[in-house]
Structure 1
Amino acid sequence: MWPRRLTQAVALVPLALLMNWDAPEIPTPERRDRDSSALPAAPRPPIVERSAWHADERSVREKPVHVAAVRAVFVHHTHHSGDYDCRDVPDMLRSMQDAHIHGEGWDDLGYNFVVDRCGTIYEGRAGSADRAVLGAHTQGFNTGSVGIAAVGSFGEGTRIPRPMLEAIAAVAAWKLRPGADPGGRVRMVSTNDRSRYPEGTAVDLDVISGHRDGYETDCPGDALYAALPRLREMVARLRDEGVRAGGARTGGKE
């Protein structure tokens, strides 16, 4: 849940940013992506990299930590109001980054990727567009996973924009390690007692899960959580198409 300590910096962030963020975990000794030589099952989608949304690189505390290949995807929402103009998302990202670094004391923006309602994909934590990088998005299960945040709030009855769901699927299909089953389960070990499971507990989770599956929170909202079965089907289809096309096609950059 949202920590009780709120600094002066966080007070400057819009109320919509007060969400269920998680503290980062201590990284494992694994520093290299074991599947780095394997072709991805789906192509890289177009991504707005950090230089394009003007991330504050001077505030980043530590360099990206490379971990093992992505075995699971956690879907989040940011708790922003859903009526935002997509042109304002870069400003929103900079506010989130500031809150995560100066408010929470984290190294950088917690999410690996952020997707808006227009279907634009943004690189979140530094290095995420190039390697498997340790994020700070799902307490206890950051290692070996990727965190994708949908900009908005998705409580029960909220419509999920089709471009947004397609963008989340594109990132998940590309980032999941070769051989992963988007509709399957994966065994992960909790690294933090503040997750749903005590540290050291082995847990079978959906390969594509919601934030609430690993942490006590309503994130990613009832509507987006209910859309996860459809998302898994979309990811599986993209990966099947990628394999048939020979894999490892590279999407453009913005």
Structure 2
Amino acid sequence: MRGFLASSIGVTCAAALALPLTLPAAAAPAPAPAVQPASGARSASTTAAPDLPGSTQSLPLTPRTRDRTLGAAPEQGLTRADVHRFSLVGVTWTDPDTELRGQVQVRTRATGTGEWSGWQDIDTHNEDHGADPGTAERDSGHVHGSTAPLWVGDSDGVDVRVRATGAATRTAGVVEEQLPPLPTGLHLELVDPGAAEAPLAGAGATTNRNRTATPRLAATEIPALSKQATERDMVALGAKAQPYIGPRPRIVTRHGWGADEKLREKGFVYTKKVKAAFVHHTATGNNYRCSQAPSVIRGIYRYHVKSSGWRDIGYNFLVDKCGTIYEGRAGGVAKAVMGAHTLGFNTNSMGIAVLGTFGSAKPSSAAVTAIAKLTAWKLGLYGVNPRGKTYLKSGGGNLYRKGKNVRLNVISGHRDGFATECPGRQLYGKLGSARSTSARYQGR
């Protein structure tokens, strides 16, 4: 282990594990997202600076005239066949405390073939993913209400419709539908994740001492270690040895999936420890190849920061259908980085999001195994039993009042902390298996 740490790749991995990634001295921090005017007005198209990979087009929705006969709903929408290429879509609105009570559907035109897809639903319940009430991130003034993002693949045309839905009532024999107003400032967000920046020279390729910072930023992955090597690595890094810890899994770093570090806020926010893991699905759909997973993550990252107004991607880790684990929010994969994933329970927890939608579709066994491996290692760093229970103090939400100590499974689903469908019925049903497998990896 001493030899490993002395090598350049050892320095790289130790930095990624224990220290927050920092930008080069010449890099400027990302500008804060513009505060949206009270009227909800925004520019019709907001794109990234030319030197940044990827772009975001923010297009205002407009009212659409519809037949106001029984059952018809107020609708806003947009049809555009002249937009820049994009691969991920979502809808945002002015006030993050306003719920979109309705249906959001989109169809897109594929680049190259020119064929239009069928209508696809976008998950409107996304307020439960986010920073806790009262935190600096939540109260920054930059946060918008937003749907979940949907991955649609390489597209250059779009048609979106947002319809309010309500409950039917009967008065004097006449059935009427009581429709809530749609949120103000509705915008369609079209995200081009961009191509990943070319990896820097591999670790160990430096030629002089003045370039020692380069390998730290060049590491595209943190390699897997055996259980014994993981234990030795902890001691070598100055951490307290834990009697139960799983082998460290391979983790693709932010540089590995092509994160543009100029998008996020420069600093980091930490909590005291990691007592629990909340499992999520991204609700981005299942129509992606594993080779596209880095692009999907770059799209989610840009959507969380540029469209929703968060300080960084919300999840601490992400997992694709092939079981590859990716570093999420910046700050060090071994540290207790505060995320924005489970409203009310982001303190002393971590969020793991599986790329996909798992209400009716089953998650892959590889993804469930990856959850078990990741939690066995990360929870093991903090001496936590994956099969156990723990207490977390609620920061406020629709299930538990602020300040209430809530007893939860150490590995919980998002719905355990907030009334939501996330992580989907099929993935939620696999958490029992993930707990027992994770504990077995720890040697319990």
Task: Report the TM-score range of the alignment, normalised by the length of the smaller protein.
Answer: 0.7 to 0.9
The structure that is helix-richer by fraction is 1
Q: Would the aligned equivalents of 1:46 and 1:121 in 2 still touch at CA under 8 Å?
A: yes
**Aligned partner (choices 102, 115, 135) of residue 319 of structure 2:** 115
Equivalenced residue count is 227
Q: Would the aligned equivalents of 2:278 and 2:350 in 1 still touch at CA under 8 Å?
A: yes
Structure 1 match to 2:257: 53
Task: Assess, with a 3 A threshold, how the Cα gap between structure 1 residues 210 and 18 changes in structure 2: closer, same or farther.
Answer: same
Gaps of 5+ in 1: 28-35, 242-254
Q: What CA distance in whole angstroms lies between the structure 2 residues aligned with 1:111 and 1:67?
A: 15
Task: Assess, with a 3 A threshold, how the Cα gap between structure 1 residues 19 and 94 changes in structure 2: closer, same or farther.
Answer: farther
Q: What CA distance in whole angstroms lies between the structure 2 residues aligned with 1:84 and 1:199?
A: 38
The structure that is strand-richer by fraction is 2
**Aligned partner (choices 356, 366, 369) of residue 166 of structure 1:** 369
Q: Are 2:304 and 1:197 equivalent residues in the alignment?
A: no
- Within a 5 Å distance, the mapping from 1:38-187 to structure 2 comes to 38-39=240-241, 41-156=245-360, 158-176=361-379, 177-187=381-391
Task: Assess, with a 3 A threshold, how the Cα gap between structure 1 residues 128 and 110 changes in structure 2: closer, same or farther.
Answer: farther
Q: What CA distance in whole angstroms lies between the structure 2 residues aligned with 1:126 and 1:55?
A: 10
Q: Would the aligned equivalents of 1:73 and 1:208 in 2 still touch at CA under 8 Å?
A: yes
- For 2:443, what is the secondary structure of its paired residue? helix
- For 1:68, what is the secondary structure of its paired residue? coil
Deviation at 1:23, TM superposition (A): 2.4
Q: What CA distance in whole angstroms lies between the structure 2 residues aligned with 1:68 and 1:164?
A: 28
**Aligned partner (choices 14, 24, 47) of residue 89 of structure 2:** 14
Structure 1 match to 2:239: 37
Deviation at 1:221, TM superposition (A): 0.2
Q: What CA distance in whole angstroms lies between the structure 2 residues aligned with 1:6 and 1:230?
A: 48
Q: What CA distance in whole angstroms lies between the structure 2 residues aligned with 1:61 and 1:204?
A: 33
Query: Which 4+ stretches in 1 moved above 6 angstroms?
Result: 5-8
Q: What CA distance in whole angstroms lies between the structure 1 residues aligned with 2:241 and 2:353?
A: 25
TM-score, scaled relative to structure 1? 0.82
Task: Assess, with a 3 A threshold, how the Cα gap between structure 1 residues 38 and 110 changes in structure 2: closer, same or farther.
Answer: same
AA partner of residue 107 (structure 1): R
Q: Would the aligned equivalents of 2:273 and 2:382 in 1 still touch at CA under 8 Å?
A: no
Deviation at 1:186, TM superposition (A): 0.6
**Aligned partner (choices 116, 126, 130) of residue 23 of structure 1:** 130
AA partner of residue 155 (structure 1): G
Task: Assess, with a 3 A threshold, how the Cα gap between structure 1 residues 218 and 6 changes in structure 2: closer, same or farther.
Answer: farther
State the Cα deviation string for residues 63-116 of structure 1 (Å, max 9, x = none): 221222210000000112223101111111111111111122111000000000
Bigger RCO of structures 1 and 2 (CA < 8 A, at least 6 apart)? 1
**Aligned partner (choices 393, 399, 416) of residue 213 of structure 1:** 416
AA partner of residue 24 (structure 1): A
Deviation at 1:14, TM superposition (A): 2.5
Q: Are 2:392 and 1:188 equivalent residues in the alignment?
A: yes
AA partner of residue 131 (structure 1): K
